[in-house]
């Protein structure tokens, strides 16, 4: 197969776009498309200070790389969760992130959960009253809180994450199967700042996972290939399989599902997208000061109180 731009040998064929590209033109294409997304959804501009949440995986490191190449002012945030597994998952991820940042001379914030609270994520989850077999919900809560905290503390204008189209579509599909209106309302490429919570954006939301993977490999970004040891058997996995099947049968199904959802949202939820429903008023947490829909202390502080003290 030949590159559409130069007739050189194509390294990737994107069926949904009927577009095959060589290495050079594919890497260019990723940059151009990212810039286009940033503009289209009014995510940020070149004056903004951007905090990139990085896990050490392909998506977030590719995103940081692209934003850096596009000339944006970025800092990274790595949250050390204390997850070990066979290969010391968290320590290894941090190595990848540190090497990435150092080699490009980029600022990196490290939030060390075990160091700060004396417990790892699996330990916090185990101690928690809502103890489940998997710490994923707890991990999400801790990460969200920490990202907000660092973004505000260091005066970043926006927090960005490496969520790709497959991530977005699998969440969307899950929320649609169960018609969770509040979650549907909240899903967006960009969420404005509210009551002290930072603005958030997902500049990669229109890239398929195989495209971010291809970008990382072709750009020779070293990233952790291992998945989080808790990811396996996740309830989302069945849905991902089904979505892959639909995509296989009709190339572009995922992209179309996502884009048509974004369009429908403007009619279904014409109020400005935000973290919480428009009716909800946010309180300041008595302990950490972060905005929260709960009175008294927020869910994060309650969790830490319950599990780490």
Question: Cβ closer to its own copies: 192 or 252?
Answer: 252
Instruction: Give the β-pairing of 190-191 and 199-201.
Output: antiparallel
Please tell me whether residue 36 binds its own copies under the rule CB under 8 A: no
Closest alpha carbon to 57 in 90, 104, 35, 17: 90
Question: Three-state DSSP class for 21?
Answer: strand
CB 68 within 8 A of CB 221: no
Q: How far apart are CA 248 and CA 263, in angstroms?
A: 24
Q: How far apart are CA 43 and CA 206, in angstroms?
A: 14
231: Cβ–Cβ under 8 A, 6 or more apart, which residues?
none
Question: Cβ closer to its own copies: 137 or 268?
Answer: 268
Please tell me whether residue 277 binds its own copies under the rule CB under 8 A: no
Question: Cβ closer to its own copies: 185 or 202?
Answer: 185
Can you state the percent helix, strand and coil of the chain, rounding each to 5? 50, 15, 40
Closest alpha carbon to 244 in 213, 209, 203, 216: 209
Question: Cβ closer to its own copies: 39 or 256?
Answer: 256
CB 236 within 8 A of CB 170: yes
Q: What is the closest distance, in whole angstroms, from the C-beta atom of residue 259 to its own copies in the complex?
A: 9
Q: Which one of 29, 257, 275, 300 is in contact with its own copies (CB under 8 A)? A: 257
Q: How far apart are CA 309 and CA 298, in angstroms?
A: 16
Please tell me whether residue 239 binds its own copies under the rule CB under 8 A: yes
Question: Cβ closer to its own copies: 181 or 272?
Answer: 181
Question: Which one of 12-20, 119-127, 210-218, 239-247 is the stretch in contact with its own copies (CB under 8 A)?
Answer: 239-247
Please tell me whether residue 264 binds its own copies under the rule CB under 8 A: yes
φ and ψ at residue 157, rounded to 5 degrees = -85, -25
Q: What is the closest distance, in whole angstroms, from the C-beta atom of residue 263 to its own copies in the complex?
A: 7
Q: What is the closest distance, in whole angstroms, from the C-beta atom of residue 36 to its own copies in the complex?
A: 22
Q: What is the closest distance, in whole angstroms, from the C-beta atom of residue 262 to its own copies in the complex?
A: 9
Q: How far apart are CA 263 and CA 35, in angstroms?
A: 20
* Residues β-bridged to residue 283: 292
Please tell me whether residue 263 binds its own copies under the rule CB under 8 A: yes
Q: Give Cα separations from 155 to 2, 145, 197 (angstroms).
A: 46, 15, 11
Kindly determine how many residues on this chain lie close enough to bind its own copies according to the rule CB under 8 A. Answer: 22
Q: Which one of 115, 238, 280, 306 is in contact with its own copies (CB under 8 A)? A: 238
Q: Which one of 13, 131, 256, 284 is in contact with its own copies (CB under 8 A)? A: 256
Please tell me whether residue 174 binds its own copies under the rule CB under 8 A: no
CB 35 within 8 A of CB 41: no
Question: Cβ closer to its own copies: 65 or 166?
Answer: 166
Q: Which one of 261, 292, 303, 307 is in contact with its own copies (CB under 8 A)? A: 261
Q: How far apart are CA 256 and CA 261, in angstroms?
A: 8
Please tell me whether residue 15 binds its own copies under the rule CB under 8 A: no
Structure tokens, 199: 């603005």
Please tell me whether residue 181 binds its own copies under the rule CB under 8 A: yes
Question: Cβ closer to its own copies: 238 or 305?
Answer: 238
Q: What is the closest distance, in whole angstroms, from the C-beta atom of residue 41 to its own copies in the complex?
A: 18
Residues of the shown chain interacting with its own copies in the complex, contacts defined by CB under 8 A: 176-179, 181, 238-239, 241-242, 245-246, 249-250, 253, 256-257, 260-261, 263-264, 267-268
């Amino acid at each position: 197969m030949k590159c559409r731009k130069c007739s050189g040998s194509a390294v990737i064929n994107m069926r949904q776009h009927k577009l095959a590209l060589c290495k050079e033109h594919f890497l260019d294409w990723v940059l151009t498309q990212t810039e286009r997304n940033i503009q289209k959804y009014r995510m940020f501009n070149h004056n903004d200070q951007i905090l990139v949440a990085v896990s050490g995986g392909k998506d977030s490191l590719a995103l940081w790389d692209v934003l850096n190449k596009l000339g944006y002012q970025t800092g990274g945030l790595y949250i050390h969760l204390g997850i070990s597994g066979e290969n010391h998952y968290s320590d290894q991820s941090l190595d990848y992130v540190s090497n990435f940042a150092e080699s490009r001379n980029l600022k990196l914030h490290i939030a060390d959960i075990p160091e700060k609270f004396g417990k790892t994520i699996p330990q916090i989850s185990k101690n928690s009253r809502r103890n489940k077999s998997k710490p994923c919900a707890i991990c999400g809560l801790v990460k969200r809180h920490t990202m907000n905290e660092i973004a505000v503390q260091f005066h970043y204008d926006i927090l960005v994450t490496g969520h790709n189209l497959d991530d977005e579509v699998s969440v969307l599909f899950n929320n649609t199967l169960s018609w969770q209106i509040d979650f549907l309302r909240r899903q967006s490429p960009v969420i404005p700042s509210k009551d002290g919570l930072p603005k958030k954006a997902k500049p990669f939301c229109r890239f398929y996972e195989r495209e971010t993977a291809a970008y990382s490999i072709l750009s020779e970004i070293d990233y952790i290939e291992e998945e989080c040891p808790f990811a396996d058997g996740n309830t989302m996995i069945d849905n991902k399989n089904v979505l892959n099947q639909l995509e296989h049968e009709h190339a572009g199904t995922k992209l179309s599902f996502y884009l048509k959802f974004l369009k429908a949202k403007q009619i279904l939820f014409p109020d400005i997208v935000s973290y919480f429903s428009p009716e909800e008023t946010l309180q300041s947490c008595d302990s950490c000061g972060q905005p929260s829909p709960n009175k008294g202390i927020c869910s994060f502080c309650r969790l830490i109180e319950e599990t780490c003290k």
